[in-house]
Every structure is written in structure tokens, then in C-alpha cells.
Amino acid sequence: MGLTLTEKIFARHAQRSHVAPGDNVWVSVDVLMTHDVCGPGTIGVFEREFGKDAMVFARDKVVLIPDHYIFTTDTMCHRNVDLLRAFAQQQQLPFFYDPQTTAYKGVCHVALAQEGHCRPGEILLGTDSHTCTAGAFGEFATGIGNTDAGFVLGTGTLLLKVPASMRFVLDGALPPYLMAKDVILRIIGLIGVDGATYRAMEFCGSCVEAMTMEDRMTICNMAIEAGGKNGIIAADATTRTYVTARTSVPFVEERSDADAQYFSEHSIDVTALEPAVAQPHSPDKYATARAVAGTKIDQAYIGSCTGGKLSDFVAAAQILAGRTVRVPTYLVPATVEVKDALATTRHAGQPLTRIFEEAGCLPLAPPSCAACLGGPSDTFGRVTGNEIVISTTNRNFPGRMGSTSAGIYLASPYTVAASAIQGAITDPREYLA
């Protein structure tokens, strides 16, 4: 019997020829990522359990990316980055992206990819639920807690249950008014926020094959919003081109066997989809933008690991060019690389930065997680009252962006930009000829 892509990665990392869903196996870990919110606690567990003088399992497999609470006056947050810095120095870690230096990157899931830490066939664990983003590179990637991460820091291994795989076949050419975000919001709406709990979500089909790495990251990023253990897309020429430009570390590509066993199969014709939103307060409260068009909004937000990549801003600029926003519009590039590219990338001859400025958006924030998850009270874009927000982020449970009485609509950058112009939820087809 054949194996799925996820099962093959588990088998090789457990040094077995075969694994089956439900098996608990010890796997070797290729990359452990942590950040400023969970890193200090992870280090605390590591030092408590392995000793103050213990060394990490492999220096070049530990990646520290502070990104959550960087641009704040909160002294506790600064203390937490200091704890990461001290640990990086003590352990001589080569991959610490220090906010006090030019090494600073921004949002960990995008930075992991841009800095070459995402590689096909590997196992990447991170102390953040959106670690599943890296599944876009044909690897197994999932979020873990501090205690598990402390164990990995000391041993380089973890006991993991092999997940059954759900197969999502996305076929057809994505229409020009749709983005990867519309596709994944449709899928979550169909299966629910616990529709993939404990399972792998494998995405394939002609639509996925035609997607850029950034689009694939948007899809895999939100596997956790359906409860998935991981999202995964088999590596191909697109993956290889991206990865080999950013790392010289060798990797082994895996593919699902033709006779692999799936928990379930789902076919989606993407040509039939429409611009989508997830309504407050759950990512599975799917509606077409058309169905809720006219709903007044108080602010718009473009940013985060799922919606703050260069292609997300290019899409927003397509709609905002030559137009003006009616509500405060917050732009947070995910990483320094994205931010720098906004000044050099042009749409209709104009740099994206100029387009956003002339449209009346707020000045670009420095790269970080910012208001995607609320955060300290001085966080850029954080909501404090009963605002209605439309956002390219990935989660809209009560209080997610800082206030339990606010309502958050999740949508693609096209839909967010179109809605910002009208001050109300708008189907972006109104602006895309």
C-alpha cells in the first residue's frame, strides 16, 4: 500500500520503511523555530530540564525570529527579546534575527521561507500555530507548545502521531479576481474550524501547480484554521527555484504514491468560486463578498504571515491605484524584504509605496505581527472598541485584534482594498476589469 507525502516524511524521519495514520513515532527534527512570545518559555523549559549549561541539539537547526511584540514601549516585551539574545549568544546560534540589528526580518513564517529555512522533505517544528505555512514547501511543518519545543531543543527529536491525510484537489485556472485566500476561506467554510483536526491537509491539482510559492503559503498557513495538524503541497519546479535561490542545504523531495490512502478526498473547481469573506467571529463563517456587500467597516488591515507578503501588496495596489480609501487603512509588510520591495516594485509605472500614500493609507508600519493578534496596547492597528475591521489576516475569533466587541471580516487583499475604498465590504470585481 502506498504512502501519502506526509506519511513518507514521517517514515524517513523515524527511520522506518512504513508508517500508518495513528502510529506514534519518534522523529528527528530538521528545524526548530521559536519567537519572542514563546521563545523565553521554551528556553526556560530547556534550562530547567536539561540544565543551565546544556547545549542545544544542533546550533544550525535552531532558528530564533522575534516578530510579535517588537515596536512597543512595553518593557516586558523588550525583556523577552533580551532573553532570546542572551540565549543566542550563550549557544552561539547562527540564526538569531535580532531586532536591534540589520539582521531583523519580521514575521517568522515568511522570514523562514525567505531565509532558506523551509526545504522540501524536512520536518520543521515551531512554537506558533501558523508554522504550518511551511508545508507549502513540501515539508511537514506544525506548531507545538513550549514544553515540546524545550524537549526538541535538548534532544532534536519528538514523539508525534502520524496524521491521516485529507486530499484537496483544486482544479482550474484561478480567475483574475480571486486569490489563494478566497480558496482557503472556501475550504474552511466547507469543512469547519475543526474539520481537519488531527489530520494533514494535502493540496494538489492544476490550480495549486500554477500557484506561486506565496500563494501556496497562504493556503497552507490557514490549515490550522480548520484544525489541521499540517497543510502540505508537494514540491515541484516552482518550489525548487524558490528554495535553491535561498539555501545551499541539500534536500530530498517526496511525493504521495498513486495508491496512497486518504481519509477523505475533496474536489474544488476554483473557476466557480467567488471573492470570499469569513464573518465575525470564526474563520469558517463563510460568505461571498457579494452577499455581505455594503456592510460598513471602520478600518482595513493588510498584513500578517498570511496576508502581508509582496504579492498581497501588489494585489492591493492594483485596486488602490488612482483611488482613495475612506477608512483608516493599515499596511504592515510581513518582513523587511517585503517592505524594501514595496519601494522598488511598480504598478502602472508607480512604486507601490507611492500608490498607497496617494490612496491615503496610513504610513507603512515596520514589519512585525502587529495587530493581527492584538498585542500590547500600543500595537499599530490594534482595535480598542466595537470597530468593524476587514483584514487579510487569518483568524477572527472574539478579541483577536485586541477588542472582544470588535468584529473582524477576513478576506483577500483584493477584497480588503476594494472595501477600504468604499468604506463598506465590496466585491473586488467592481474594480477589476
Partner 1 sequence: MIITGAAFVLGDNIDTDQIIPAQYLNLVPTIAAEYRELGRHALAGLPNACRAFMQPGAYQTDYPILIAGRNFGCGSSREHAPVALGAAGVKVVVAASFARIFFRNCIATGELYPVECRARLCETVKTGDTVMLDLAAQTLRHEARGAVFALAPLGAAQDVIDAGGIFAYARARGMLHVN
Query: Is the CB of 352 or the CB of 408 nearer to partner 1?
Result: 408
When binding is defined by CB under 8 A, the residue of 33, 38, 123, 134 that contacts partner 1 is 38
Query: Is the CB of 223 or the CB of 270 nearer to partner 1?
Result: 223
| Least spacing, CB of residue 271 vs partner 1, in Å | 31
CA-wise closest residue to 203 among 226, 319, 282: 226
| Least spacing, CB of residue 73 vs partner 1, in Å | 12
Task: Give yes or no for residue 109 binding partner 1 (CB under 8 A).
Answer: no
Contact pattern from residue 195 through residue 214 relative to partner 1, giving x for each residue in contact according to CB under 8 A and a dash for the rest: --xx----------------
- Among the residue ranges 2-10, 50-58, 99-107, 354-362, the one whose residues contact partner 1 (CB under 8 A): 50-58
Query: Is the CB of 41 or the CB of 121 nearer to partner 1?
Result: 41
The residues in 296-355 that bind partner 1, with binding defined as CB under 8 A, are: none
Q: How far apart are the first and last CA of the chain?
A: 49
When binding is defined by CB under 8 A, the residue of 23, 25, 50, 206 that contacts partner 1 is 50
| Least spacing, CB of residue 72 vs partner 1, in Å | 9
Query: Is the CB of 154 or the CB of 189 nearer to partner 1?
Result: 154
Question: Please, where are the H alpha helices in 130-212?
Answer: 146-155, 180-191, 206-209
Distance of CA 189 to the CA centre of its chain: 18
Residue 211 contacts by C-beta under 8 Å, 6 or more apart in sequence?
174, 180, 219, 238
Residue 225 contacts by C-beta under 8 Å, 6 or more apart in sequence?
184, 188, 193, 283, 284, 394, 395
Task: Give yes or no for residue 131 binding partner 1 (CB under 8 A).
Answer: yes
| Least spacing, CB of residue 145 vs partner 1, in Å | 4
194, exposed or middle or buried, with CB in 10 Å at 0-12, 13-18, 19+? exposed
Residue 134 DSSP symbol: G
Task: Decide: 230 and 131 in contact? Cβ < 8 Å.
Answer: no
C-alpha cell at 197: 483536526
Residue type, 102: T
Question: Can you give 210-274 as a three-state secondary structure string?
Answer: CCCHHHHHHHHHHHHHHCECEEECCCCHHHHHHHHCCCCCCCCCCCCCCCECCCEEEEEEHHHCC
Number of Cβ within 10 Å of residue 245's Cβ equals 8
Query: Is the CB of 105 or the CB of 400 nearer to partner 1?
Result: 400
- Among the residue ranges 295-303, 316-324, 369-377, 416-424, the one whose residues contact partner 1 (CB under 8 A): 369-377
Question: Please, where are the H alpha helices in 329-408?
Answer: 336-344, 352-359
| Least spacing, CB of residue 428 vs partner 1, in Å | 28
How far is Cα 347 from Cα 76, in angstroms, rounded to an integer? Answer: 41
- Among the residue ranges 42-50, 103-111, 247-255, 425-433, the one whose residues contact partner 1 (CB under 8 A): 42-50
| Least spacing, CB of residue 45 vs partner 1, in Å | 6
Contact pattern from residue 243 through residue 282 relative to partner 1, giving x for each residue in contact according to CB under 8 A and a dash for the rest: ---------------------------------------x
When binding is defined by CB under 8 A, the residue of 90, 129, 157, 350 that contacts partner 1 is 129
How far is Cα 236 from Cα 243, in angstroms, rounded to an integer? Answer: 11
| Least spacing, CB of residue 37 vs partner 1, in Å | 5
Q: Which pairs with CB-CB distance under 8 Å and at least 24 residues apart come from 94-99?
A: 94/59, 94/60, 95/60, 95/62, 95/63, 95/64, 96/64, 97/64, 97/65, 97/66, 98/66, 99/66, 99/70
The residues in 378-417 that bind partner 1, with binding defined as CB under 8 A, are: 395, 397-400, 402, 404-405
Task: Give yes or no for residue 174 binding partner 1 (CB under 8 A).
Answer: no
The residues in 81-100 that bind partner 1, with binding defined as CB under 8 A, are: 83
The residues in 134-153 that bind partner 1, with binding defined as CB under 8 A, are: 143-148, 151
| Least spacing, CB of residue 370 vs partner 1, in Å | 11
Helix, strand, coil percentages in the chain from 3-state DSSP, rounded to 5: 35, 20, 45
C-alpha cell at 407: 468584529
Query: Is the CB of 37 or the CB of 424 nearer to partner 1?
Result: 37
Residue type, 139: E
How far is Cα 136 from Cα 133, in angstroms, rounded to an integer? Answer: 6
Number of Cβ within 10 Å of residue 375's Cβ equals 24
Residues binding partner 1: number (CB under 8 A): 53
- Among the residue ranges 14-22, 104-112, 190-198, 333-341, the one whose residues contact partner 1 (CB under 8 A): 190-198
Residues near partner 1 (CB under 8 A) are 37-38, 40-41, 44-45, 48-51, 54, 68-69, 74, 76-77, 79-80, 83, 126-129, 131, 143-148, 151, 154, 193-194, 197-198, 224, 227, 229, 282, 373-377, 395, 397-400, 402, 404-405
